[in-house]
Structure 1
Amino acid sequence: MAATDSPARTSDAITGFESTFADELTPLTVEWRGADVPDPRLLVANDQLAASLGLDVDSLRTEDGIAILSGAAVPADGKPVATAYSGHQFGGYAPLLGDGRALLLGELVDVEGRRVDLQLKGSGPTPFSRGGDGFAVVGPMLREYLVSEAMHALGVPTTRSLAVVATGRGIHRNGVEPGAVLARVAASHLRVGTFEFAARNGSVLQPLADYAVARHYPDLAEVPTTGGGNRYAKLLERVVERQAALVAQWMLVGFVHGVMNTDNTTISGETIDYGPCAFIDAFDPAAVFSSIDHGGRYAFGNQPAVLKWNLARFAETLLTLISPTPDDAIAVATATLSTFDAHYERHLYDGLSAKLGLADTFVEHEVIDDLLTLLAAHRADWTGAFRALAEELRGRSTPLDILLPREASTPWLARWREALARHGRDEAATADAMDRVNPLYIPRNHLVDEALQAANDGDLALFAELLDVVTNPFERRVEWVKYTSPAPEEFNSSFQTFCGT
């Protein structure tokens, strides 16, 4: 294990680091550094993201740049730390989790003035490793890179991926697999689990809440900490709203997170931790892909309810800050949590209305609900269905007929066209508008699996092409036609994802 008092190689290949979290919330951090790396090799780097962070793109590819991205070297102006947090995992409380295989290198201020974290994932054991080896392997790190960048291209709030570095270290998982480190960029790594740890461990809770406000909701900084308009009650309101919007966006693109523990629920409202994640092909609220979700707790259709449950755990951590009178604090928190369903439904149905070309705000409740029932009954491809509906408006019926029997779709199509007419929607213009919000390409599970297996064997060509496709999700190209098809049924019947730990 890397020791904090052993000599550390430093480099200025990546500069500009600050450490406000570590400086202001020291009780939540342990200074640490990554393990040595036998044979670092850059697998993929995100030049566009690097430029937006004000980094020298060429420096990332130098020996020193790769050393920082692998954890083998410490930035000259950085102060790497492992952070502490708790969490409810599959409903059970774990009082101490923390960064068991990650290091927060520090914070960078991007070219638009936004503060972000740069964290390494898979850089070796830390004091929070809980018996694990602290390392990661190529497949899961490339999956997070691919899926997080696809989510960004789809407009879903998310952490992003700067690079993946192969370490040259063999890691024991299912046999020996090649090791890798992911460099992840986030608005912050503040989690519900961070608050759960702080609430049970002394006087750091209020400084943490104030730090979260300053970093993510700075307009609340002037709100009083007591009395009417309580700052911490307002913080809860904002996080509830952002998380409701986030999970609605997951549902709209067919994303299944797979491990929605409270330590994977951010205060910023970003998607974080692409472990056993997947995208649905057939529309199925019961869809589960994670090998560890035996009871379907985190199934596709359960995600909004789980998110609300996680936010209740967040609310519990803030009770003493909201009011010194427990009954008053509980009343405020309960009232705020009760708004989640309305926030979620508004975001979901606004999105569904836009996907159907009806309007940008929620209309035609029954038309939308009946489509969902129809898609579920026939296990129709979620992503392809909305593109097929746009083609239907253009007079091309074949794409929809592949997904739904014409005798089943005809009555609904008539009602949809009537709804479009009521709202004064020209069919040709509506089809074009639908194509602007409905992706043609997503990270289809069978294609991701194929690309990662090849990458594990040293061939990155399929990964590079798939990355190009999913980061241009709305742009139709003839040569990308295979990326629009759902997986064969024999693949879906046995496919599982793994968290890679």
Structure 2
Amino acid sequence: MTETKETIEIGWNLDNSYESLPEIFFTKQGLSPITSPKLIILNAPLATFLGLNVQALQSEEGIANLVGNKIPKGASPLTQAYAGHQFGSFTMLGDGRALLLGEQITPQGEKVDIQLKGSGRTRYSRGGDGRAALGPMLREYIISEAMYGLGIPTTRSLAVVTTGEPIIRETEQPGAILTRIAASHIRVGTFQYASQWGEREELKALADYTIQRHFPEGINNENKYLFLLKEVINRQAQLIVKWQLVGFIHGVMNTDNMTISGETIDYGPCAFMDTYDPATVFSSIDVYGRYAYGNQPNIAVWNLARLAETLLPLLHSDQEQAVEIAQEEVSNFAQLYQNNWFAGMRAKLGIFNEEPEDKILIEELLGMMHKHSADYTNTFRALTLDMCSHTELFTSPEFKHWYQKWQERLSRQQESKDSVQQLMKKNNPAIIPRNHRVEAAIEAAVKNGDYSVMEQLLDALSNPFEYSEKQEEYAKLPKPSKQKYKTFCGT
């Protein structure tokens, strides 16, 4: 086939393999054009990785692709159907404000979803307008790219384009569309949808497609559906550990927000913890703390149990044996999580090997941090730099006793002090996207049209383990406030 001018200039290389699934899993979707699109931010390094021409994406035609005014060459827009437990209650869902253009095949041969978020009404909008506000789309861009910089599996953000059309939420807000990149958008909720409203063959088709796309090494496995369950559990155990190690709170761990690929998805009411407290909740809608920081591993297990339930017909022909298999696999999450978490915490403390007393050493530190309301990130930052300043925690007698125990522990390993510090620097970020910094960036952009605050923040967060002078400002804590910080769902 002869390449068109558009293909050469922009670099679209789209596949539409999701369309190979039974039709219950998606709906073909027409475009909902907007009148005055304006490109606000473009992720040039990501565009290059995807094989896209950065300059061409900024052209009129490129922007038209990024807002759904014009279908990219090779795209076949659709919306995905899925269900989910939202705060424990099961419901039918689907892409209510998102459009899957297709799967871009990168120069490296990887296949990733290109999705427009905020692109207009769909079959699954449930009375909503299908649009998105600028503020929440900028939040997702900032946090998802920060997560990428932290080395945490995540969906990513290619671009944000304003629509020139106001939308009504609590107030009138500027509209925007985010281009989201993901390994795929297959969720635990996708399998729940298939289990609830599909036939066994349709569930099997989804499982086979998922294995082929994400776990091809399991295609010839004796029980490839058991292999699928094992791999998802393992990836989620690793993912949640990475969240916990940096103090990330997702805020809305519904089953439709847990991907099969093991990527973090949906940055609505998410935030990073300042003061260490396992009960920390930021989401305005999580009134009972279901998705609190300390409860995230438990919720992951609960969500994975829901996935396992959907796979029962594929795991074994005998229902009782299928249940036993599923229960055994889900129960393995706890040990996988603990092993990964303790390994991560040892690294944060510069510990290379393993001793039985490490568990107590780690738990004692966290207990003191909680008692003295210590900042989570900056405590480990100070330990990394051996600059324990005059905070309530560091001046306490119990910390001084703990510090001596820690130094004695480090002396029992062969690695040098320099090696210890390098290990700690690789595992303790110098900065995180502090909530007050994120809010300041969003406010400057939305209220004043000033995107420089966000650009500077993104630059600092692109290498959070750098420990550079330019990051010093971003390590500062917010001013004390009587009001508890709250985040809100972006819908």
Query: Which bin holds the TM-score, normalised by the shorter protein?
Result: over 0.9
* Other-structure match for 2:120: 124
CA drift at 1:204:
1.1
* 1:161-193 deviation per Cα after TM superposition (whole angstroms, max 9, x unaligned): 110111111010121100000101100000000
The answer to whether the 8 A contact 1:196-1:317 is kept is yes
Instruction: State the SS of the aligned residue for 2:14.
Output: coil
Matches within 5 A, 1:127-142: 127-142=123-138
Taking the TM superposition and a 5 Å limit, the aligned residue runs for 1:247-326 are: 247-326=240-319
Residue matched to 2:477: 486
Q: Indicate conservation of the 8 Å contact 2:278/2:293, yes or no.
A: yes
2:230 matched to which residue of 1?
237
Q: TM-score, normalised by structure 1?
A: 0.93
Of residues 104, 107, 110, the one that matches 1:108 is: 104
Residue 410 (str. 1) matches residue 408 (str. 2): no
* Equivalences for residues 49-448 of structure 1 within 5 A: 49-94=46-91, 96-200=92-196, 201-202=198-199, 203-224=201-222, 230-359=223-352, 364-392=358-386, 396-398=387-389, 401=391, 404-448=394-438
* Runs (5+) with no aligned partner, structure 2: none
Amino acid at match of 1:81: L
TM-aligned CA distance change 1:362 to 1:260, over 3 Å: farther
Q: Letter of the aligned partner of 1:386 in structure 2?
A: F
User: Taking structure 1 as reference, are residues 76 and 426 closer, same or farther at Cα in structure 2, changes over 3 Å only?
Assistant: closer
C-alpha distance after superposition, 1:27-75 (max 9, x if no partner): 2111113321121011111111111111111111011111111112111
2:29 alignment partner, one of 28, 32, 48: 32
The AA in structure 1 aligned to 2:135 is G
Q: Which amino acid aligns with 1:160?
A: R
The answer to whether the 8 Å contact 1:14/1:75 transfers is: no
Q: Distance in 1 between matches of 2:291 and 2:354?
A: 28
Equivalent-residue separation in structure 2 for 1:479 and 1:389 (angstroms): 20
- Contact (CA 8 Å) 1:349, 1:361: kept in 2 or not? no
Farther-moved stretch of structure 1 (250-259 vs 434-443): 434-443
Measure how far apart 1:346 and its partner are.
0.8
1:288-345 alpha-carbon deviations (Å, 9 max, x no partner): 0001111110000000000000000000000000012110000000000110000001
Equivalent AA in structure 2 for residue 369 of structure 1: E
Paired with 1:22 and 1:165, the residues of 2 have a C-alpha distance of: 27
Letter of the aligned partner of 2:380 in structure 1? F
Question: How far off is 1:26 after superposition?
Answer: 2.9
Q: What CA distance in whole angstroms lies between the structure 1 residues aligned with 2:121 and 2:53?
A: 29
Give the Å deviation of 1:441.
Answer: 1.1
Whether contact under 8 Å (2:11, 2:51) holds in the other structure is no
Uncovered stretches (5+) of structure 1, i.e. residues with no partner: 1-9, 225-229
For the residue of structure 1 that corresponds to 2:481, the secondary structure is: helix
Residue-by-residue CA offset, 1:329-374 (whole Å, 9 max, x unaligned): 0000000011000000111111100010002768611111111111
Matched, 1:48 2:45: yes
User: Deviations 1:414-469 (Å, cap 9, x if unpaired)?
Assistant: 11011101123433431232112211111000110111011112111111111111
CA-CA distance at 1:397 after TM superposition? 3.6
Q: Distance in 1 between matches of 2:347 and 2:111?
A: 32
| Paired amino acid for 2:85 | H
CA deviations over 1:372-415 (Å, ceiling 9, x no partner): 111111111111111101222xxx442x6465334231010011
Letter in 2 for 1:477: S
What is the TM-score when the length of structure 2 is the normalising length? 0.95
**CA separation in 2, counterparts of 1:411 and 1:390?**
18
2:295 and 2:388 mapped to 1: Cα distance? 33
Which shifted more, 169-178 or 417-426? 417-426
Kept in 1: contact 2:113–2:185 (CA 8 A) = yes
Superposed CA deviations along residues 271-296 of structure 1, whole A, max 9, x for unmatched, are 00101000000111000000111111
Structure 2 CA distance for partners of 1:311 and 1:134, relative to 1, 3 Å: same
Contact 2:394 2:400 in 1 (8 A): no
Shift of the alpha carbon at 1:205? 0.4
Q: Give the conservation status (yes or no) of the 8 Å contact 1:121–1:182.
A: yes
User: What amino acid sits opposite 1:439 in the alignment?
Assistant: P
2:459 paired residue number? 468
Distance 2:29 2:422 in 1: 52
Conservation of the 8 A alpha-carbon contact between 2:12 and 2:51 = no
- In structure 1, how many angstroms separate the alpha carbons of the residues matched to 2:371 and 2:469? 31
Contact 2:384 2:428 survives alignment (8 Å): no
Contact 1:137 1:171 in 2 (8 A): yes
1:5 aligns to what? none
Q: Percent identity?
A: 46
Q: For each residue in 1:101-127, what CA deviation from the matched residue of structure 2 results, as whole angstroms up to 9, or x when unmatched?
A: 001110011222111101111001100
- Do the aligned partners of residues 120 and 11 (structure 1) sit closer, same or farther apart at CA in structure 2, a change above 3 Å counting? farther
User: Counterparts of 1:308 and 1:479 in 2: how far apart (Å)?
Assistant: 40
Q: Structure 1 residues 68 and 137, CA, compared in 2 at 3 Å: closer, same or farther?
A: same
Q: Please, which of 433, 446, 454 is the counterpart of residue 444 of structure 2?
A: 454
- In structure 1, what is the Cα distance between the partners aligned to 2:341 and 2:75? 41
Deviations, residues 120-143 of structure 1 (Å, cap 9, x unaligned): 110011000000111001111011
Q: Which residue identity lines up with residue 371 of structure 1 in the other structure? A: L
Aligned pair count reads: 481
Structure 1 vs Structure 2 CA RMSD: 1.6
- With over 3 angstroms needed to count, the CA separation of the structure-2 counterparts of 1:20 and 1:360, relative to structure 1, is farther
In the alignment, the residues of structure 2 paired with residue 322 and residue 397 of structure 1 have an alpha-carbon distance, to the nearest angstrom, of 53
